[in-house]
Structure 1
Amino acid sequence: MPVVANGLPVLREVLSVDGAPCAEFVDATDVAAFAAAMTRVLTDPALATTLSATGRQLEKKYSLDAMVEGYVKIMRDLDVASPAGSGGMTTVPA
């Protein structure tokens, strides 16, 4: 689903994948700009398709599986960096 979002820097960062936006960003205080962006995503099928495809990539980036993989990597990195090599952990999921 195509998205129109506030153009805040943090949202531009979070709502993108490898630099590709998954939303049309606008100044949320500019009603005309917001309406124009809504019109664009509703009337431009190519734009809607592109934003939706990038949104699906974003969904995978922030999925539960991706989060778990990230935590496992952190735990393994901490384990490797510890002096004894165990990092106080007995097991790390494979």
Structure 2
Amino acid sequence: GKPMWGTWWVWDARLTSELVLLFLYAGVIALWHAFDDRKMAGRAAGILVLVGVVNLPVIHYSVEWWNTLHQGSTRMQQSIDPAMRSPLRWAIAGF
């Protein structure tokens, strides 16, 4: 971010919501390793995962809600050249 924004971090709503998701992910891993009893660890981590699910729609719709540093969502129909469509489908099927 430094070359584009002039600073290493910008408190942009989209970036901050992703940072919250990263902290929640690290918290789930930490909770999983904090308990010796795996059943209790799974229950505690599961509760934190349910709390973190609330952040997913915020991240998804942040493109439409906040138009700050990054471009907005692109709504136009995207097309692929027919010469590339078949190889792409075969590659997806093979994967």
TM-score w.r.t. length of structure 2: 0.31
Q: Going by fraction, where is helix more abundant, 1 or 2?
A: 2
Q: Going by fraction, where is strand more abundant, 1 or 2?
A: 1
